[in-house]
């Protein structure tokens, strides 16, 4: 059987898709807060060092695996080392679990986008807080109490999965055109929001909190770990996405320049988003008569409580900027969401030769069903808990194992020779050191530190049994990965 | 904005956006641009 592998329509399509996969909600709601919290402008130093010593080397590694092997993660890692197929499957099942709860966060943004036209979330801070926690999510008292499905959230979840399906069903060539919009629109909205933010009173005060350096923070090892953690998660590493996206490039495609462009575009977007966030926080603090740190928050609190509060206080066109902000979140999130499904689909297609026309809708429906528990009253807690375990343990283990397999089993210098043979920008032996020593060391330290904290403090103030559930999930996913790796492959001749 | 914040702003802009432009120019001048002209190169038979 002769089968043609799908291909991107152009190099820029691939770069936009990879940038879209990397740029997500975290660029807006996590990076600016982490920067402010860990030394302001001084944090940019460990952040950029982490980008150069771990982020870009790992991205080069993943691109090279995808381009050289022309396969999705399980098939790709099997070609590198027969015993490593399960690592590929582990990244695939992890990213599927991640996609299930990520789609749920998207469903909240879908609901807020709808409500932004009437500013239905209320007027004051406490009203907005109440709307998110008690009206939309109707949160239960603990993760052990799931309660009823919240129908608007379920509807938002269905809409999200339909969008994921529609973006992927025509194949990567069409996807390569869609990403121009899903990456271009959030950049355009960010520019509008930065201009709006900078023209508000108090904006400069907010930016001072964002960028004023506190160099003494650099003495704290936690700041450096935070920088490496931020780089690792923001670039969508270890999820299988970059491997499968790169596998749709021809074998003689450039690797290094693509990796530098993708990484720098992602980090540049994060840095730029900080101006939209902190200029608005400066305005919010000034309007409320409090200091910027008192209104500074991250994650869901920033997106669904703090930002709507600031939007309400805008002198003109609150509805417009509310809709723009949640459209920003939706467009930022959708290309990350479908990039999480593509490695799953690609793995089934490459391993068993299944037809994409059948496997894609099946995975989308299954993903929707797996996501239903997150739409219950207790679902909010589980989004937080599962996110913690998938990111801090699952993805970190995959990243660590990828470095070991390539660095020590396959040979870092061997794959570097291949990378240099196809790339416009060559890399030196420094890359071997980053892949064999620095990146695995940092990931190993992060993993041990997270485990130690979990054992001594638990996570997030949740009951102890949730930690066992999280660790149990990771172990279960490893077992499933081994089972999938043992099944017989369908080869094309 | 205070002066130390402006220094960090300039530093980040030069490294992030300067680096981005540098590698985009490298990519535009590199050998891989042939791929855009000949899409037949994109199809590999397995």
Quote the pTM value.
Answer: 0.92
Among the partner-chain residues B24, B30, B44, the one whose CB lies closest to the CB of A5 is B44
Q: Residues in chain A whose beta carbon is closer than 8 A to a beta carbon of chain B?
A: 2-5, 7-11, 40-42, 44, 48, 70, 204, 207-208, 210-213, 250-254, 257-258, 260-261, 264-265, 267-268, 271, 424-425, 492
> Looking at this predicted complex, what is its ipTM?
0.89
The values of phi and psi at residue A4, to 5°, are -90, 135
Contacts of B35 in chain A (CB under 8 A): 10-11, 250, 253
* Tokens at A253, concatenated: 């495609």
- Exposed/middle/buried for A387, CB within 10 Å: 0-12, 13-18, 19+? middle
- Distance, in Å, from the CA atom of A234 to the CA atom of A48, rounded to the nearest integer, reads 13
- Distance, in Å, from the CA atom of A338 to the CA atom of A343, rounded to the nearest integer, reads 9
Dihedral (C-alpha) A477, A478, A483, A486: value to the nearest 10 degrees?
Answer: 140
- Distance, in Å, from the CA atom of A231 to the CA atom of A67, rounded to the nearest integer, reads 23
Q: Which residues of chain A have pLDDT under 50?
A: 1, 493
> Tell me, what's the pLDDT at B37?
45
Contacts of A38 in chain B (CB under 8 A): none
Calculate how close chain A gets to B31, using CA atoms only, in Å: 7
> Tell me, what's the pLDDT at A492?
53
> Tell me, what's the pLDDT at A429?
95
CB contact under 8 A, A212 and B5: yes
Strand partners, B45: A4
Of A362, A385, A352, A373, which Cα lies nearest the Cα of A100?
Answer: A373
> Tell me, what's the pLDDT at A373?
96
In SS3 terms, chain A reads as CCCECCCCCCHHHHHHHHHHHHCCHHHHHCHHHHHHHCCHHHHHHHHHHHHHHHHHHHHHHHHHHHHHHCCCHHHHHHHHCHHHHHHHHHHHHHHHHHHHHHHHHHHHHHHHHHHHCCCCCCCCHHHHHHHHHHHHCCCCCCCCCCCCECHHHHHHHHHHHHHHHHHHCCCHHHHHHHHHHHHHHHHHHHHHHHHHHHCCCCHHHHHHHHHCCCHHHHHCHHHHHHHHHHHHHHCCCCCCHHHHHHHCCCCCCCCHHHHHHHHHHHHHHHHHHHHHHHHHHHHHHHHHCCCHHHHCCCHHHHHHHHHHHHHHCCCCCHHHHHHHHHHHHHHHHHHHHHHHHHHHHHHHHHHHCCCHHHHHHHHHHHHHHHHHHHHECCHHHHHHHHHHHHHHHHHHHHHHHHHHHHHHHHHHHHHHHHHHHHCCCCCCCHHHHHHHHHHHHHHHHHHHHHHHHHHHHCCCCCCHHHHHHHHHHHHHHHHHHHHHHHCCCCCCC
CB contact under 8 A, A251 and B44: yes
Contacts of B31 in chain A (CB under 8 A): 254, 424
- Distance, in Å, from the CA atom of A273 to the CA atom of A267, rounded to the nearest integer, reads 10
- Distance, in Å, from the CA atom of B24 to the CA atom of B20, rounded to the nearest integer, reads 6
Calculate how close chain A gets to B34, using CA atoms only, in Å: 10
Q: Residues in chain B whose beta carbon is closer than 8 A to a beta carbon of chain A?
A: 1-2, 4-9, 11-12, 15-17, 19-20, 23-24, 26-27, 29-33, 35-36, 39, 41-46
- Distance, in Å, from the CA atom of A202 to the CA atom of A192, rounded to the nearest integer, reads 18
Residues in CB range of A7: below 8 A, 6 or more apart = A172, A173, A248, A249, A250, B42, B43, B44
pLDDT 10s digits, B10-45: 999 999 999 999 999 998 887 665 454 444 444 443
B11, B14, B46: best to mutate for the A interface, most A CBs within 10 A: B46
Calculate how close chain B gets to A101, using CA atoms only, in Å: 31
CB contact under 8 A, B41 and A250: yes
CB contact under 8 A, B12 and A250: no
């Amino acid at each position: 059987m002769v089968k043609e592998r799908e291909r991107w329509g152009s190099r820029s399509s691939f770069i936009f898709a990879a940038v879209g996969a990397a740029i997500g909600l975290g660029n807006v709601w996590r990076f600016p807060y982490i920067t402010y919290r860990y030394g302001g402008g001084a944090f940019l130093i460990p952040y950029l060092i982490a980008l150069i010593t771990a982020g870009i080397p790992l991205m080069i590694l993943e691109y090279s695996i995808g381009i050289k092997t022309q396969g999705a993660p399980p098939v790709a890692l099997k070609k590198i080392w027969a015993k490593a197929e399960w690592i590929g499957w582990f990244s695939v099942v992890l990213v599927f679990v991640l996609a299930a709860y990520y789609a749920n966060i998207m469903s909240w943004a879908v609901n807020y986008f709808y409500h932004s036209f009437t500013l239905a979330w209320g007027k004051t801070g406490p009203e907005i807080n109440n709307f998110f926690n008690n009206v939309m999510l109707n949160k239960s008292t603990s993760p052990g109490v799931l309660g009823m499905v919240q129908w608007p959230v379920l509807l938002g979840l269905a809409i999200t999965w339909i969008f994921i399906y529609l973006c992927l069903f025509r194949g990567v060539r069409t996807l390569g055109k869609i990403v121009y919009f899903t990456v271009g629109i959030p950049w355009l909205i960010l520019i509008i929001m930065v201009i709006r933010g900078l023209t508000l009173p108090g904006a400069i005060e907010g930016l001072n909190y964002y960028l004023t350096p506190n160099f003494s923070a650099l003495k704290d090892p936690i700041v450096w770990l935070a920088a490496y953690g931020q780089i690792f998660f923001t670039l969508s590493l270890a999820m299988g996405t970059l491997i499968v996206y790169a596998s749709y490039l021809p074998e003689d495609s450039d690797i290094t320049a693509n990796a530098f462009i993708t990484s720098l575009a992602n980090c540049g977007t994060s840095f730029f988003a900080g101006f939209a966030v902190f200029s608005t926080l400066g305005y919010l603090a000034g309007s409320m008569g409090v200091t910027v740190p008192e209104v500074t928050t991250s994650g869901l609190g920033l997106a669904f409580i703090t930002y709507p509060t600031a939007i309400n206080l805008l002198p003109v066109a609150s509805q417009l900027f509310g809709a723009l902000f949640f459209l920003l979140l939706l467009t930022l999130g959708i290309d990350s969401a479908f990039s999480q499904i593509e490695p799953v689909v690609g793995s089934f297609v490459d391993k068993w030769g299944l037809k994409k026309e059948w496997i894609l809708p099946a995975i989308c429906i299954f993903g929707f069903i797996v996501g239903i528990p997150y739409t219950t009253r207790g679902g909010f807690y589980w989004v937080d808990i599962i996110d913690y375990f998938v990111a801090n343990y699952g993805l970190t283990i995959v990243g660590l194992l990828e470095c070991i397999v390539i660095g020590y089993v396959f040979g870092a210098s061997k794959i570097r020779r291949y990378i240099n043979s196809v790339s416009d920008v060559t890399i030196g032996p420094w890359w071997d050191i980053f892949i064999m020593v620095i990146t695995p060391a940092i990931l190993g330290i992060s993993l041990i530190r997270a485990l130690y904290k979990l054992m001594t403090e638990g996570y997030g103030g949740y009951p102890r049994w949730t930690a066992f559930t999280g660790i149990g999930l990771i172990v279960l996913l490893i077992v499933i990965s081994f089972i999938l790796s043992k099944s017989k492959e369908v080869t094309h001749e | 904005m205070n002066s130390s914040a402006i220094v960090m702003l300039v530093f980040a802009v030069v490294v992030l956006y300067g680096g981005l432009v540098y590698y985009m120019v490298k990519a535009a001048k590199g050998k891989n641009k042939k791929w855009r002209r000949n899409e037949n190169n994109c199809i590999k038979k397995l």
